Amino acid sequence: QVQLVESGGGLVQAGGSLRLSCAPSGRTFSTYTMGWFRQAPGKEREFVAVINWSGGVTNYADSVKGRFIISRSNAQKTVYLQMNSLKPEDTAVYYCARSLRYDSMSYQMIREYDSWGQGTQVTVSS
């Protein structure tokens, strides 16, 4: 069973930045597709960003495109989410997730991911 541990959340003012990190356990990190999702109070969990195993393919939700950057270091076995120009509506618990494949038609779907972290809280004040 892969364990995912997120870190880097916190409280930030609107317009500020945060960087989230996620370090899955397991020896084959470099073969995983990694995604970030978020869930705001009273709302469903939603897709934020995805990166394929090599880092050569990334995709973003429209709401974060141009502000967030997903990246990975296979040497460090870590995936990152750099969040810039944060807005109050970005406030949510952010989850890291693993998928064993990259599917260009379904990467934003929760069912594509088989392991999830516990989440890290991001709060953006206005």
Do residues 97 and 116 touch, judged by C-beta distance below 8 A? yes
CA distance linking residue 73 with residue 86, whole number of Å: 24
Within 10 A of 107 (CB to CB), how many other CB atoms are there? Answer: 21
79-105 in b/e burial notation, b at 16+ Cβ within 10 A?
A: bbbebeebeeebbbbbbbbbbeebeee
The helices-and-strands tally (H runs, E runs) of the chain is 0, 11
- Per-position pLDDT tens, the chain of length 126: 688 999 999 999 999 999 999 998 877 788 889 999 999 999 999 999 999 999 999 999 999 999 999 999 999 999 999 999 999 999 999 999 999 888 988 999 999 999 999 999 999 999
